Every structure is written in C-alpha cells, then in structure tokens.
Structure 1
Amino acid sequence: MDFRDPPRRRLDDNLLPMINVIFLLLIFFLLAARLTPPEPFPVTPPEAQAQAEVADDFTLHIAADGRLGYRDAQDDPALAALAQARADHCAATDCAAEPPTLTLRADAALPANRLAALMPRLATLGFAQVELVATAGPAP
C-alpha cells in the first residue's frame, strides 16, 4: 500500500481561467463602448419640456461668450471643419435625399441675438435642419 500524500496541485492552475474571463470582459467592454470626441469646452444647455435624442456626427458647440467649437477646432476653423465634414458626408451619401442635421449645443447663458446672428453663417454651410439641444426642465 502506498501511504504517501497525493501530489499537490499548483495554485497557478486555478488562476488561468479567471484571467481569461477578465480579458474577455475587457475586450467586450472596449468593443461595446461608444467612443466620442471630447467636447472642446463645457456647455450648459438650456432647459426644455422634452428631451430628444442627439446625433454626434454634426454637433457644433457654442459657449456662453459666443466661441464656436467642432471636434478639436474652435471659432472660424470650427466652421471650416464642420463644412468639410458635411462635404465628406455628402460625398459618401446622398444629401439631397436625406440632408444631414446640424445639432447645436449652445450654453444657456448665450444671448439669443448672438445665436440668431450665427444662423445665416450656418445656413451657408448647407444644413437643411438645425436642432438645439436642451435639458429637460421642470414640468409646468
């Protein structure tokens, strides 16, 4: 009869499946995450009664002092970058059938006359529809 102790298992063998699961979860979350470019500066949207879904393709940020931001560009270069992004989009898709929508994320402290003065400049970029982002306000 053999009365020796049975051979012990190494503890490293138990960690390998756990490490595999962690890496699979990491890959899943990296693939499932939606990566968006950072906002050029903080913007506090005005309040509204209902919240609509916002697309991130053509989002122009407007600060309280009137600065414009699109992706990494600010002010006049931001408008030029927005026009170029629209031209690239229209080269790939039919903009006559389904025109792209411009989303404005304006600060709530931005005076309305500055926003109104910006609208003719935005119209020259060729956007048929402009949406203003607002946060949900208190119910009446």
Structure 2
Amino acid sequence: MVKRSVSITVDCEVWEEAGSKLDSRSEFCENQLRLFLELNNDEEDQLLEQIQSKREEIYVLEDKLCAFRKDRLSKAKKKPVFDDAMVTVNRINNRLGKIGKNQIRKIAKSNQVPFDLLLENCRVTDGINIVNFAEVPRK
C-alpha cells in the first residue's frame, strides 16, 4: 500500500493532547478514516482498533482519577479536616513522645480523612515524632 503525506488542520491543544496519549497520531488518524470508510475488514486490524479504543478509555479514566485526587487534595488543604485528628495525634505524641504510622492510620480512619494526607500533615507539624510502629497507649 502506497502512503501519501497530507496536511490537515487540527486545533493545537487537541494535537498536543493526542500526542501525549497516542503512540502515533498519524496511525490513529488513518485507522479512524478506515473505520469511517469501512475499509478495515481485516480481523487483525479490528483487534488493534479495539485495543486502541480500550487504551483511550483507560486514558480517560486515568485523567478522571488524577482530577479526583487533585480535587480531594485541594479540598483537604482548604478546610481544617485534620483538626479533630490532630488533637488525637498530639495527645498521643505528647503522652508517649512518639506516634506510630499504625496509630496515624487508625486515627485517619476513625476521623474519615485520607491516611496519606494526615501523615503528611503530621510530618510538616513541628514536634511530632513519627515511628513506623508504636503500641496503643493503655488507659
């Protein structure tokens, strides 16, 4: 099959986004044209198209996941969701002189805040000694 070099007009942002998500924009365009023209009857090509379609779905889902995480992080930074959790963290740290990651995980779960964000908040707070594991203080 003889290939021809052609020129098409595409929005710059769309072109750049496609370049970051596709292995070959040219191949993708050719496959879409074949699909449109119903020239692609070969079973191998159909499988390749299905694979590409699934990859695109994965890209969309990954973008949604990144947006969700970014939104969650910005919300966590805007409001004092850690206040109640930090009261418990500080109490344990003051009493024992340290706090374990296992304890922070339990505190995060009981206060319904993300563990990774609470741990990071503890790391940036002065005076909190974080260890990998610490026993739960007895009353």
TM-score bracket, shorter-length normalisation = under 0.3
Give me the TM-score of the superposition, normalised by structure 1: 0.25
The structure with the largest helix share of the pair is 2
TM normalised by structure 2 equals 0.25
Which structure ranks higher in relative contact order (CA pairs < 8 Å, sequence separation ≥ 6)? 1
- Point out the structure with the larger strand share: 1
